[in-house]
Every structure is written in C-alpha cells, then in structure tokens.
Chains A and B, each alone.
Chain A
Amino acid sequence: MKTFRIGGVHPAENKLSAGKAIETLALPKQAVFPLSQHIGAPATAIVKKGDVVKVGTKIAEAGGFVSAAIYSSVSGKVNKVDSVIDASGYRKPAIFIDVEGDEWEESIDRSTELVKECNLTPEEIVAKIKNAGVVGMGGACFPTHVKLTPPPGCKAECVIINAVECEPYLTADHRLMLEKADEILVGVQILMKAVKVDKAYIGIENNKPDAIKLMTEKAAQYKGIEIVPLKVKYPQGGEKQLIDAVIGRQVPAPPAIPINVGAVVQNVGTAYAVYEAVQKNKPLFERVVTVTGKSLKNPSNFLTRMGTPMSQLIEAAGGMPEDTGKVIGGGPMMGKALANTEVPICKGSSGVLLMNDKDASRAEAMPCIRCAKCVSACPMGLEPFLLATASAHGDWERVEKEMIMSCIECGSCQFTCPSRRPMLDYIRLGKGKVGAIIRARNAKK
C-alpha cells in the first residue's frame, strides 16, 4: 500500500458521519459573505445596500489574479456591506444579504443530468473556472485557476486528486465521492484537459473502501484516470505528502511548488465544483459540510449554501450539546477554533466539529524530555522541538536555517509530544516572522 515516506501519525479516525447521506440544509434568514475567503487579494464588492440579487449573482469581483469572485448563494436584498466577526474574532468586510424566496439565475442548469461532453479549449475552461470563483475546497482556499496556469518554464505532467480526507471526523469528501462519483470523474477530465495532461490519479485512503470500490468501477469508463488506494496516515492530504505518496516525487523546499515536479493537485470537492462550473454554469456558492462531534446528537453531512451561519448547521444536527468546550471550523488537526458560532460557512469550510470540555483543553506542558518523537513524526523531516524553542527565543536566523518555512503546520509534532508542549504555536510565530524577513529581503533586491 502506498503512502508518503517521512514521518506521519495516526490519530483516532472518529468518522462518525461516514454513513450519513448528504442532506440539503434549509436556507438561512440572512447570508453573510466575507470578501476574503480565499488566499490572495480580497474580492471587491460590486453590490450595494438595497440591490436585489438572485442565487448565483456575482456580488464581488476578484481583487487580482490571485483572488476569486464571490457569488450570492441566496436570492434577496443586500442589507449592508459592513464588517463581520470572522472565525478568528477579527472584523473583516462582508456582504449581508436578507433572504427572500429562492430564485436562481436563469443561466444555471439545475437539472441533475450528467453532462459528459466538454468541447471547450483549455483556455476557455480556465476562464470559466476563474469566473465561477472556484477555489481549493480542502481548506487552504487557493484560487483554482492560478493552479491551472503553470508559471513559465513549468509543465504539468499529471493531475492528482486529493480524496484522502486524512483529517479525523470529516466525511464531506467521502460522501461526495459516494454520491457524485460520475460528476467528480467528469470534473477530473476537465481539469486534465485544462492543464493538457492525459494522466490523473485519485488518491483515497484505505479507510474508505466503499469509495475506492465505487470510484475504481466508474473510473474504468474514463480515460487516463487511476484510483490509488493509500495507507491511512496523517497528513496524507497535505499536497506535498500526497504527491510523494502517489507518484513518489518530493517537492523541494520552498519556494518550490508542486508544479516544479510536474504535479497539479486538486481536492475532490474542487473537481466537483469544476464540473458544476464548466458543465452546469453553476458558480461556487454551495458545498458539503460535515457537522460532527462525539456529544452531538446527530452528526451529519449537509449541502450548505455559503453564508449560512455555523450555528444553523449545529442546530440542524441536534443542537449544541451542554458539554461543548470548543467549536472548530475544519478538522481537529488543522482546523481553527471559533470564538463565536455565528461565523458564516465559506468556500473552505469543510466541517464544523464540536469538542466536549474534557477533550477541548490542553494539558499542562512539561519540560521537553528530548524523546525525539516529534522529529520522527514530522512529515517534512524537520526538528519541531528545535524550531519551537528557537522561535520562543526569537532566534529567527537559526530557525530560517533550520528550514522553518518548510513546515506545513500539520500539527503531528504537537499531537505526538508526550510533554504536551505547544510547539506549533511557537513554530507558527516563527514562520510568520521569518516569512516577513524573507519578503523584506526580497523586496530590497
């Protein structure tokens, strides 16, 4: 069984909602669209207070090449363009839309019929994807059209689809594969056409045997798509780890990117979004979100319109349990703890996880006993204990030399540390500082 070569851990999987079919969530009363829900420049609002919008109306234009447009997921009236508290508690500009009815733009093909044929040129496909505001649905939210436009001198050799879903608890991608297998495969073919390659791999972890079986059966009808079952190991869903696992190539240290080894990695959710954008003219305004937690009454997978507050999803899954200590947007390894539950679902929201009091708090940190378990666990071959200590002391030169910028913040080190040291807190700090130093240095040149 294939997997990546360095480090890795195996957290308890807890895929509580794996057996739950995707349900469509009711419309919210008010939908909120933060203007910055992707990596890159924030989008610029093109609607104002009082404007009437339909489902699928563009409400914000991309703010640059590395940016993405935002579409309304509801029909109704723009209430205001103001600031909203985002997942991290800071205020960010956003568009508020009061929901009235559910009227869709006519250009969107709402039939469920599978459209296999795609006669567009690669350039047209990329333009369409860009226009639809599609971004990486795995969580990082990198605009998809940027990834599909290789920088000069680089040539894509294959498309790798990330269907690993290595985060514990989350099942959104799993369910999507079971229910929309054909659409995903057509989406993959479109992606292959967009970057002009004839080979695509879909990496699926071995804890989803039903998805592997179904996808392998269906993939036989599509040329050049191979399903690669992978051994269960976190963080296999990391782009670099996945490339290593599937085609055995390792992306060199930053600033190198996957395209340098000829790979274009896309999430399985993104492939589905690409299918909808290209074949159905449907921009990205809804996604599958897993709502889960050990104390939650009814862990589920919801097809959710963007802009729906997370509290509504929690209500739909049985309400917030009494013992909730932490609400996480995303999975437990890399997700963000939320300061409030009114945060809207964005393009990158793959899940809402409720942790109970007991699991939520960190245990008290003990001194480092130099057991080297973090070094063994690090999938990037770094020395987390050293990076953390040097960052805590502000020794930025040292941490840069020790390749802190290679860190993918997967959290394997902290997960495995017997002394429960908050290593990643410090490493993130160091990464931020070193990143700023490098940018300043490059700007000087």
Chain B
Amino acid sequence: MANKLIVSLSPHVHSGDSVQKNMYGVIIALIPALLVSFYMFGLGAVIVTLTSVAACLFFEWAITKFILKRERTTILDGSAALTGLLLAFNLPSNLPLWIIIIGALVAIGIGKMTFGGLGCNPFNPALVGRIFLLISFPVQMTSWPVAGQLTAYTDAETAATPLALMKMAVKGDATALEQLPSTMDLFLGNNPGCIGEISALALLLGLVYMLWKKIITWHIPVSIIATVFVFATLLNLVDPAKYADGLTHLFTGGLMLGAIFMATDYVTSPMNHKGMIIYGIAIGFLTVLIRTFGAYPEGMSFAIFIMNAFTPLINTYCKPKRFGEVVKK
C-alpha cells in the first residue's frame, strides 16, 4: 500500500449530487419552453437568449476574476448560465441588445456578486435584472411581439398581451375579456408575451422533470398555482365581466414560469416545507392582488421579489417539524 490512509469523519460516502447537476438539471427542464419560444418568436428569441446567457457568463467571469480576484471562477457551475436563461425568458423577443446586456450586468453584478456570489444573494438575480429593466425601460419592456414572426427581431409587430386585456377589463372595458385568446392557445403558447412564459404546457413539462429528478419539491409551485387559482376564481365569481377566471390567470403572463422556475430558486426561497408553503401562498396572493388592483398588468415578478425579502424571516420563525414533537400514539 503506497498511499497514506485518509482519515476523516463520517459519512464516508456521498450521494453524488452536486451544484452543477442541479443547475444543469434546471436548464434541461427549461428546454421545452425554450423550443416553444424559438418556434413562436423565431430569430428574436434566439438572439435575446444567446445574448443574455453570454452576457451573464461574461459578467460572472469578469467580476470573479477582476473585482473579487478569486482564483476559481464559477462560470462552469451553471448558475450564471441559468440566470442568463431565466433573464431571457423574462424579456420580450424584440428587446435591443444593449438593454439585454444592461439587464445581465444588473442581474449578475448587482443581484448576485455584490452579495458574495453563489448562495449569498437575497433576491433572485434574474428577477433583479428583469425588474430593473422593467422600471428603467418601460416602453421597450412592455411591447410584445405577436407570435409567429420567425425572422423579425426589433422590427416585429406588437400586440397587447392577455394580461393587458385583463387589466382593461378591471378598469371597466366590458369587451376586453372577450378578446382574450382561447384557453387552449394560452396553454400551448400561441399568444404574445415574454420569451419563456408563453407556453404553460412546456413549463409544466419542466416541472415534471424537476420533480422526477428531485431537483425541487412540489411545495412552492403547487401552493402558488393553487392560491392563484382559488383567489382568481373567487374574484371571477364576484363579477365575471370584470375579473378573468382562474384558469386564464394560471396560463397568462409569467405565472407558470415564476411559480415553477423563479420562485423555486434555491438561494432565495425558504428552507423547510412549512415555510415553502407560506411563501408560495403569499406569492400567489400578491400576484393576483397586483394583477387586479395594482398599477402593473403583471404581478408575478414583484410578488416573488417581495417574498424573497421575507425569506429570512420565514426561515427564522418557521422551523421544520422536529422529531418527537408529534403527540404519542
């Protein structure tokens, strides 16, 4: 025996799970939605996605190397690529390149690296980027290309999103709800919107994959979706002409994308099942609240953002069920 024996404390085996596996797992789960977006928005979607991912990777590399001066860069762990992909999913497919690059800089630079990099950020970096862009460039960020223009980029024809129609209905436009695309179109993705959010079906496929691979648990997505459905249905029962029904809420805007991919971000979501459900319910509630009564047509990103801020509080006060707490018998 040539080598010295290695000594360390138990356990001596590992499940083989790694950060990379989880990050690339989420990326794989995003592929169906990505393909739908390429099919619907063509060239624009390809350009926005590639730019966003490349810019995020570049900023991650540049900041770790030149500002933080760390020896090991972390661009290969998949987290920056995932942030880039999620950021792109939250952008319209006709967004100019320079805005995307600013978004990536904010997402990685301010959203992630200022707090110390992977695992330290209080807010979902992709969301930080998106919200920054939404507030800074409201015009570009809210003009949505109509699906099916495969070769168009910034010159694409735009239209109102289903969410905008829903907002108009709340404000008193009686015919707005009738102009909504059919629920089936919404479910499959044939409607204007951000790159990644249009097809509920593709996103649900991603959810099934992530649950199967045990990347996430069901608690956050299910509690968000259930809350939105229940709350929206209640509103719909009060006044069907003003408030869209629950299913429409579920399949429009960034709800599915947010519930499945953005809210479940490891770093910024609570760390036990009880907390996850509280977090999910609060997000669902806030989303419908903002969608119906707020100034913006879409409330998902703000709802997640607000609840990200509450995550440490939830973690402090919400503890997992301890062994032995259960009453005897």
Contacts and interface: CB of A to CB of B under 8 A. Distances in A.
Do A and B contact each other directly (Cβ–Cβ < 8 Å)? Answer: yes
Contacts of A437: none
A219 B96 CA distance: 76
Interface in B283-329: 319-326, 328-329
5 contacts: A324-B1, A325-B5, A360-B12, A381-B321, A425-B9
B172 interface: no
B133 to A, nearest CB: 25
A407 B103 CA distance: 44
B13 A416 contact: no
A168 to B, nearest CB: 7
A417 interface: yes
B267 A415 contact: no
Contact of B118 (A9, A366, A372, A381): A366
Contact of B12 (A244, A324, A335): A335
A375 B272 CA distance: 7
Given A249-B329, A367-B117, A411 B11 contact: yes
A370 B322 contact: no
A105 to B, nearest CB: 37
Contact of A333 (B11, B17, B272): B11
Contacts of A320: 1
Contacts of A419: 18-19, 119
Interface of B: 1-3, 5-15, 17-19, 21-22, 77, 79, 116-120, 217, 266-273, 319-326, 328-329
A422 B11 CA distance: 9
Nearest to B215: A371
A414 interface: yes
Interface string A1-22: 0000110010110000000000
Contacts of B320: 375, 378, 381-383
B117 to A, nearest CB: 7
A150 interface: no
Nearest to B272: A375
Contacts of B268: 370
B18 A253 contact: no
Contact of A250 (B10, B271, B326): B326
Contacts of A425: 8-9
> Which of B13, B217, B267 has most chain A Cβ within 10 Å?
B13
Interface string A237-279: 0001000100011111100100001000000000000000000
A28 B283 CA distance: 68
B19 A418 contact: yes
Interface stretch (A47-55, A57-65, A193-201, A336-344): A336-344
Contacts of B324: 240, 250-253, 256, 406
Contacts of B267: 369-370
A107 to B, nearest CB: 39
B10 A6 contact: no
A11 B10 contact: no
- Mostly, the A contact residues are loop
Given A6-B321, A320-B1, A326 B12 contact: yes
Given A11-B13, A417-B17, A357 B321 contact: no
Contact of B21 (A359, A385, A418): A418
A233 interface: no
A379 B321 CA distance: 10
Given A372-B266, A420-B14, A366 B19 contact: yes
Contacts of B11: 332-334, 411-412, 414-415, 424
Nearest to A169: B13
Contacts of B271: 370, 372, 375, 383, 385
Nearest to B328: A249
A408 B296 CA distance: 50
Interface in A398-413: 403, 406, 409, 411-412
Contacts of A89: 7
Contacts of B322: 253, 380-382, 403, 406
Given A250-B325, A370-B119, 14 more contacts: A6-B323, A324-B1, A326-B5, A328-B12, A332-B10, A333-B10, A337-B6, A341-B5, A359-B12, A381-B323, A383-B320, A415-B14, A416-B15, A422-B9
A295 to B, nearest CB: 12
A443 interface: no
A332 B13 contact: yes
A312 to B, nearest CB: 16
Contacts of A240: 323-324
A252 B12 CA distance: 29
Contacts of B116: 367
Contacts of B15: 9, 11, 415-416
Nearest to B319: A383
Q: List 7 A-B pairs, minimum CB-CB distance, nearest first.
A: A411-B11, A367-B119, A372-B271, A252-B324, A381-B322, A371-B266, A380-B323
A336 B5 contact: no
A404 to B, nearest CB: 12
Nearest to B18: A418
B17 A418 contact: yes
A255 to B, nearest CB: 12
A387 to B, nearest CB: 12
Given A333-B11, A372-B271, A327 B266 contact: no
B323 A367 contact: no
Given A6-B323, A355-B12, A360-B12, A371 B18 contact: no
A327 B17 contact: no
A250 B323 contact: yes
A441 interface: no
Contacts of B13: 11-12, 168, 332-333, 359, 415
A353 B11 CA distance: 13
B17 A367 contact: no
A411 B10 contact: yes
A368 B119 contact: yes
Contacts of A251: 323-324
A381 B325 contact: yes
A353 B12 CA distance: 10
Contacts of B5: 324-327, 337-341
Contacts of A256: 324
Contact of A406 (B7, B79, B323): B323
A284 B6 CA distance: 32
B12 A337 contact: yes
Contact of A325 (B6, B270, B319, B325): B6
Nearest to A371: B266
Contacts of B2: 322
